[in-house]
Amino acid sequence: MQVETIQEAKKIAKKTSEGGNYACVILSMGKYYVETETPFIRLHETLIAEYSDGVLLDSE
What is the pLDDT of the chain when averaged over all its residues? 94
Task: Please check the confidence at residue 50 and state whether its pLDDT lies above 80.
Answer: yes
Of the CA atoms within 13 Å of residue 25, those in its CB half-sphere come to: 25
Task: Please check the confidence at residue 60 and state whether its pLDDT lies above 80.
Answer: no
Task: Please check the confidence at residue 15 and state whether its pLDDT lies above 90.
Answer: yes
Q: Is the distance from CB of 56 to CB of 49 less than 8 angstroms?
A: yes
Q: Is the distance from CB of 37 to CB of 30 less than 8 angstroms?
A: no
State pTM to two decimals. Answer: 0.89
Residue 58 is inside which H or E element, if any?
strand 55-59
Residue 10 pLDDT grade (very low, low, confident, very high; cuts 50, 70, 90): very high
